[in-house]
Each structure stands twice: as C-alpha cells, then as structure tokens.
Amino acid sequence: MEDFTALLKKHNLKVTPQRLKIITMLHAHGHINIEDLFSEIREEFPNVSLATIYKNIHQMTESGLVREVKIPSLKSVYEVAKEPHLHMVCDKCHKVEDIVLDTDKIIEEAEKVSGYKIEESFITLRGICPECRHK
Amino acid sequence: MEDFTALLKKHNLKVTPQRLKIITMLHAHGHINIEDLFSEIREEFPNVSLATIYKNIHQMTESGLVREVKIPSLKSVYEVAKEPHLHMVCDKCHKVEDIVLDTDKIIEEAEKVSGYKIEESFITLRGICPECRHK
DNA sequence: TTTTTAAAGGAAAAATATTTTCTTTTAAAA
DNA sequence: TTTTAAAAGAAAATATTTTTCCTTTAAAAA
C-alpha cells in the first residue's frame, strides 16, 4: 500500500479527499480514462465536478505525478508516473498493460539514424493478449 | 509525383477536388493536424467545410489510406499511410519526422515478455533535432 | 488551538473539437 | 446524355475541455 498523501505533498499539491481518490483510482486501475475516472469517483463523491477531475489531472500531469498515455483508436488514459515502460493494448478486450523492456539498443540506433538527441520514448504495441488468444 | 487519383480510386473513394487537395496536402507536409489542414485547404477552396475535412479524414483513415499519429503533448497529426516507421518529434521546433528502423528485436522481446501476439507497433521518440541542437 | 489565507472544489458558462443532419451539388455508372 | 449514389456545404447537435466566479477547506501562521 502506497502513501498517496506523501506523494501529493512531494508534488506540492494540497491533500484533498478528491485528490486522494483520484490518485488511488489511477493506481488501482493502472490506466483509466477521464470518463471512467469521473464515473467511479462520483460514486463516492456524488457532487464532484468534471472540472475538478480535469483540473487535477492537468495539475498532476504538469507536476509529473501522472502521465497521459495516448493510444491509437482509444481515448487517452492516465497512469501514476513510474519507471519507463512500454504499453501493450489488446485489440479484443482493449486492456492496457505495462511491460518493462530494455530499449537502449533501439534508442541508440534511432539517434544514429536521425541525428536527434532523444529524451524520451513512447512505445505502444497492439495485438492480442494471452487471455483473449486462448479463448 | 504520385498519382493520388489512382490512390483514391484504389480505396473506393470518389475523386473530388477537395479530396485530391487533402491528400496532396498530407503528402506535401508529411504530417499535418486538422486545424492547419483546414486553413490551408480553405485558401484554395474558400467554401470548404470543416465537416468535409473531418468526414474525409475519417473515411481515409477507415480505408487505410491515411493514418492518425497521436503524439504526447501535441495535437494529432495525419499522414498518408506508408511502410512502417517511427516518429521523431523535436521538443524545440515541434516538427515530426519519420525514420525507418528495424524493430524486429524489440517486438520479439515484447512478445516473449508479455505473451501478446503483436500486430502493430507505435513508436514516438521525442528529443532535439539536429537543426535545433546546432543553433 | 484559533485565525488567516491561498488553494481547491463545485456549478455554470464559455470555448473547443467533432459529428450529425439535411439539402444541394457532382462524380461516375448506366 | 440521363440517372444515381456519394460527397460537399451549412447549420445544428453533441462531445470534450477550460474558464470563471463564488464557496469551502487544507494547512500555514499566530
């Protein structure tokens, strides 16, 4: 169990019940879109405003606590920032999973080919997850 | 010079002046967002509707003629579909470039780690382009 | 502890973005 | 040529995101 209160403080964000709920949800789901986040939070906070969700997600993204993940043909999802990783998206069940892989080789190769100094990579792979494949 | 008329026909899309302009623009820019596409097309077709742009981009994407490229912190851009490639985005000048790289190794590794059967990869790398770096 | 205050929440409106509807126009088949 | 199915354009509808403004509250200061 993580200490989300400390995490919010570390990012200079006031600790509010709504914020704790948002970050708890992000962590529990791994990845969640705005719409689903709003629906779920409204179960516990019936008066929460969609603007609160948007404002918080924006602040948390700005502060580096949260990351937006843009996925082809799906709505953006959000995740609590952690070590660099790739995203796997299942074409059947549409779940999004993280995997950690060494990307040094391909980054190095890309720098060589492009002449860019690469700061960050965003890698999403789509296909069929093991569960859907074996159904 | 490419034959966009033939390309549209191949995708069972009626050849209209607006469509030819859209696909010509996409090809000329490499990557362009809806807003810029609309502005530029309106120079030649002052009465073109934004709905026409959206409807066509949607159809062309559906038919596989065009690809949407979702890029972190930028608006989506569109490109004429071609061989698989990576996207490089410059943090300074925000240009988007394609590079072709062999990704077999990392895909294979990802399949091993995740158990997924991967169908397609989306790789975007952000950093500083050679031009901005040497300024 | 209270008091103070700067930030956050909520409601509504505004701004943006995208899609749909409906009528007119047009590319292309007959 | 006609015919017709699809596309264009205009406007309205819908969806998404941001802003505004007033109230509430977390947390710093007294």
The length of chain B is: 135
**Last residue of one domain, picked from the residues B37, B55, B80:** B80
Report, as an integer, the average pLDDT of A114-133.
Answer: 98
Q: Which residue is nearest to nucleotide C7 (CA to C1')?
A: A14
Please give the structure tokens belonging to residue B87: 């996207």
Please give the structure tokens belonging to residue B22: 């859209």
Q: Which residues touch strand C (CB under 7 A)?
A: A 13-14, 16, 18-19, 45, 47-49, 51-52, 55-56, 59; B 9, 14-17, 34-35, 50-51, 54-55, 58, 75-76
- Co-location of A65 and A20 in the same domain: yes
Q: To the nearest whole number, what is the mean pLDDT of chain A?
A: 97
Residue B18: closest CA among B30, B9, B27, B44: B44
- Co-location of B12 and B61 in the same domain: yes
Amino acid at residue number B50: L
- Co-location of A9 and A72 in the same domain: yes
CATH of the domain at B93: 3.30.1490.190
| CA B116 to each of CA A65, A88, B20, B125: distance values in angstroms, whole numbers, following the listed order | 29, 8, 39, 23
Q: Which residue is nearest to nucleotide D18 (CA to C1')?
A: A51
Given a cut of 70, whether residue A65 has pLDDT beyond it is yes
Q: Residue B51: enclosing H or E segment and its boundaries?
A: helix B50-63
Question: Helical H runs in chain A?
Answer: 4-10, 17-29, 34-44, 50-63, 104-114, 130-133
Query: Hunting for tokens 């606590």 — which residue is that?
Result: A65
Report, as an integer, the average pLDDT of B101-129.
Answer: 98
Q: To the nearest whole number, what is the mean pLDDT of chain B?
A: 97
CATH of the domain at A30: 1.10.10.10
CA dist B116 and B131 (Å) reads 39
Report, as an integer, the average pLDDT of B36-48.
Answer: 98
- Co-location of B71 and B11 in the same domain: yes
Query: Looking at residue A98, what is its pLDDT?
Result: 98
> What is the distance in angstroms measured between the alpha-carbon CA of B54 and the sugar C1' of D11?
16
| Chain C bases having any atom below 7 Å from a protein CB | 7-13, 17-21, 26-28
Given a cut of 90, whether residue B122 has pLDDT beyond it is yes
> Among residues of chain B, what percentage have pLDDT more than 90?
96
Compute, in degrees rounded to 10, the torsion defined by CA atoms B69, B70, B75, B81: 10
- Co-location of A66 and A8 in the same domain: yes
Closest in B102, B109, B128 to A116, CB measured: B128
Q: Residue B18: enclosing H or E segment and its boundaries?
A: helix B17-29
Residues B50-87: tens digit of each pLDDT? 999 999 999 999 999 999 999 999 999 999 999 999 99
Query: Looking at residue A2, what is its pLDDT?
Result: 78
Band of residue A134 on the pLDDT scale cut at 50, 70, 90: confident
- Residue A3 buriedness (CB in 10 A; 0-12 / 13-18 / 19+): exposed
Would an 8 Å CB–CB cutoff place B112 in contact with chain A? no
- Co-location of B102 and B59 in the same domain: no
* Shortest Cα–Cα distance, B18 to chain A (Å): 25
A125 forms beta bridges with A88, B121
- Co-location of B72 and B93 in the same domain: no
The length of chain A is: 135
Given a cut of 80, whether residue A6 has pLDDT beyond it is yes
Residues B1-37: tens digit of each pLDDT? 579 999 999 999 999 999 999 999 999 999 999 999 9
> How many other C-beta atoms can be found within 10 angstroms of the C-beta atom of residue A109?
16
- Co-location of A66 and A44 in the same domain: yes
- Co-location of B106 and B127 in the same domain: yes
> Among residues of chain A, what percentage have pLDDT more than 70?
99
> What is the distance in angstroms measured between the alpha-carbon CA of A62 and the sugar C1' of D22?
26
Residue A23: closest CA among A76, A71, A82: A82
Which of B73, B114, B132 should we substitute to test contact with A (largest number of A Cβ atoms within 10 Å)?
A: B114
Closest in A117, A121, A125 to B116, CB measured: A125
Residues A67-87: tens digit of each pLDDT? 999 999 999 999 999 999 999
Total tally of structural domains belonging to chain A: 2
Report, as an integer, the average pLDDT of A4-26.
Answer: 98
Which of the pair, B134 or B25, is modelled with greater confidence? B25
Report, as an integer, the average pLDDT of A55-65.
Answer: 98
- Co-location of A74 and A8 in the same domain: yes
Please give the structure tokens belonging to residue B28: 């000329």
Query: What is the residue range of A119's domain?
Result: 86-133
Residues A91-114: tens digit of each pLDDT? 999 999 999 999 999 999 999 999
CA of A59: nearest nucleotide by C1' is C8
- Co-location of A25 and A48 in the same domain: yes
- Co-location of A97 and A53 in the same domain: no
CA dist B34 and A89 (Å) reads 26
CA dist B90 and A83 (Å) reads 22
CA dist B61 and B71 (Å) reads 17
Closest in A99, A116, A130 to B88, CB measured: A116
Given a cut of 60, whether residue A1 has pLDDT beyond it is no
